[in-house]
Chains A and B, each alone.
Chain A
Amino acid sequence: MSEPKRRLARRRDALWPGLALPGVAWLLLFFLLPFYVILCVAFGTVDPIFLNPQPAWNPLDWDPSAFQFVFDGLFSAGGAFEVVFVRTFVYVVFAVGLSLAIAYPVAYYVARHGGRHKGLLLLGLVAPFFISYLMRMLSWINLLQDDGWVNRVLLWAHVIDAPRTWLDGRASSVILGLVYGYVPFLILPLYAFLDRIDRSLLEAARDLGASPRQAFRLVTLPLSMPAVLTGCVIIALPMFGDYYTPDLLSGSPRTSLIGNEINLYIRGGEQVPVGAALVVVLMVALSILLAYYVIYTARAQRRLQA
């Protein structure tokens, strides 16, 4: 390599890390450091007089009593946290399952049969991204009130005899809210994937004698499994940390989720370390879920290439 070219290469080599540096520094300061702070608060103590938390900055001073408290509530029979963790898990499973039952047909139809209305249909699928989640919950508060339109329609159709309170501790309202809130985030990745499936594969299946149903079951469905899984992970992660949906659509401790407990303990003042410990436990649980997902997709990728 000639001398000027080498100098140029060196200058370029310095340029790339230089460009990345501000962003990386930002993330170290405001994303990685905060994780360490959570740990220090969770392993810290509470000042006995002023009741404000004292973070333990040195890992040698870490005091596990907040985790002790969380694990007692989690693993003792009928413990407070056990109920909440199980409830969160059940709600998320139901909400993700329902979302998938809605999202797959819709994404499939728009991707495969959208035809000349595709643009309009896509507009409908993208619209929720520009409408705040909280506004979408607000619209359901309007509808589900005692004298709201849901009750009126059900009364008019004689499905119910007396108005029902939908907004007070009903699991169905909270799950409906979760599905309504997160289903768009499942539809779009599914749509993008189904739209990209090579149609010649389906034609090949048909040429070999498969019926449309068989072609779907043997070609489209297995091909789309990774996208289905990705979409489910995308919507399950925020659901596990959600506290505003149950607060708005129920507001009762009967439907409180992990997120509600975290919010209460962090804002409550006296037991901030417990809130921080709950965040750590939630993070560890979700990392296990994510690790499984990463391993699964890596394996699927390898199988496709083999």
Chain B
Amino acid sequence: MTTAAATVARPAPSPTRRLREWVANPWGKPRFLALVTILYLVWSIVPILIAIRFSFNAGRSRSAAQGWSFRWYWQDQDLSVWHDPDLRSALFQSMRLAGLAVAITVPLGVALAIGLTRWRGWAAKPARFVSLVPLVTPEIVAGVALFLVFVYVLKFVSLGTTAQAIGHVTFSLSFVLIIVRARLISIGPHYEEAAQDLGASPMRALRLALLPMLTPAIVASAITVFAISMDDFVISAFLSSGSTTDTVPVRIYSTGRTAPTPALNALATVTLVFTLVVAALAFVVWRIVQSRRGRGGSTLQEFAQLDAETTKLG
């Protein structure tokens, strides 16, 4: 058979049809989906990169590239992140609150998760319900509620760092509960029971058998609480006592539209880098703990699953 005969038998498809089949052939590679995904990732990341680029501007513009410098980080004596007292205090306030939130929420939440999962008493069910409601409460409701509490009832807690830390702990407690509880359920009660049968007191069984197995979940919840606290805006804003206790997001909100220089971009960039470094360190710790437990697989994959677990209601 000659090539000419083959051409006659099957005429070449028109270019438009070929294009359509190349993009959307259900038996071929999903090129359309790949295109959507790539466009999404570009759309999601590039604006951030541009904002970071402007933070290195030598000029004052926040919407055009004007050379490169560290002027808005520390070189400018009045307006840079390091020298402007408002920007600097916002950075430290965010870090302070995130540290406090992790230090208080993680132990409180782990104890709550163990207690609520293993406890079979009459009050366990309503307590479990109450502990999950914060997940489905819009932040503005929680923020207004706590604001009114500190202004009218618990007046001895003044607005500012204490109130903000309490707010962050309250809002992130349920996330710790969900993460640790999922892990507890998959472990099952047999290990502590075995430890107790071998003569350990309940507390000792908990410490020696259960806590080591919970470590990955504890590290994951610490990352989550840290990220929630660094990201939080509404609660920090409602419970702030003024510019000295404003966090980075509050500062971005109050001067985002009016800020005259890219120093705000520099502040956001510093915060971003700090968050990423801490999260990356925690990931490394998590990875080490996981591999010691003999579990392979992609760290990110598991974190994505975990995060989805977190956002599931109840």
Contact = CB atoms under 8 A, between A and B. Distances in A.
Interface of A: 8, 11-13, 15-24, 26-28, 30-35, 37-38, 40-41, 53, 55, 102, 105-106, 108-110, 112-113, 118-119, 121-143, 145-149, 167, 180, 183-185, 188-189, 191-193, 195, 211-213, 230-231, 233-234, 237-238, 240-244, 247-248, 251, 259, 262-263, 266, 272, 275-276, 279, 282-283, 286, 290, 293-294
Query: 10 shortest A-B CB distances, which residue pairs?
Result: A20-B115, A23-B112, A241-B138, A192-B308, A34-B145, A19-B115, A16-B119, A139-B51, A241-B140, A134-B249
Q: What's the interface size class on B, roughly? A: 35 or more
B288 interface: no
Which of A109, A118, A132 counts the most chain B CB atoms within 10 A?
A: A132
Contacts of B26: 211-213
Contacts of A30: 146, 149, 166-167, 169-170
A279 B141 contact: yes
B208 to A, nearest CB: 14
A130 B136 contact: no
B44 interface: yes
B256 A17 contact: no
Contacts of A132: 230-231, 233, 248-249, 252, 268, 271-272, 275
B234 to A, nearest CB: 8
B111 interface: yes
Interface string B28-70: 0110111011001101110110110010000001111000000
Given A109-B33, A148-B63, A275-B144, A37 B115 contact: no
A167 B257 contact: yes
B288 to A, nearest CB: 18
Given A105-B37, A282-B138, A138 B147 contact: no
Interface of B: 26-27, 29-30, 32-34, 36-37, 40-41, 43-45, 47-48, 50-51, 54, 61-64, 108-109, 111-112, 114-116, 118-121, 123-124, 127, 130-131, 133-134, 136-142, 144-149, 152-153, 166-167, 169-170, 173, 177, 196, 201-203, 206, 227, 230-231, 233-234, 238, 248-249, 252-253, 256-257, 264-265, 268, 271-272, 275-276, 279, 298, 300-301, 303-305, 307-309, 311-313
What is the predominant secondary structure among interface residues of chain A facing chain B?
A: helix
Contacts of B54: 142
Contacts of A34: 142, 145-146, 148-149
Contacts, number: 297
14 contacts: A17-B115, A19-B112, A105-B37, A108-B33, A109-B37, A112-B30, A131-B275, A132-B231, A135-B249, A138-B265, A241-B141, A263-B140, A266-B144, A279-B140
Given A121-B41, A124-B44, 14 more contacts: A20-B116, A20-B124, A20-B127, A38-B145, A41-B148, A121-B37, A126-B300, A138-B51, A141-B256, A142-B265, A143-B47, A192-B308, A248-B253, A266-B144
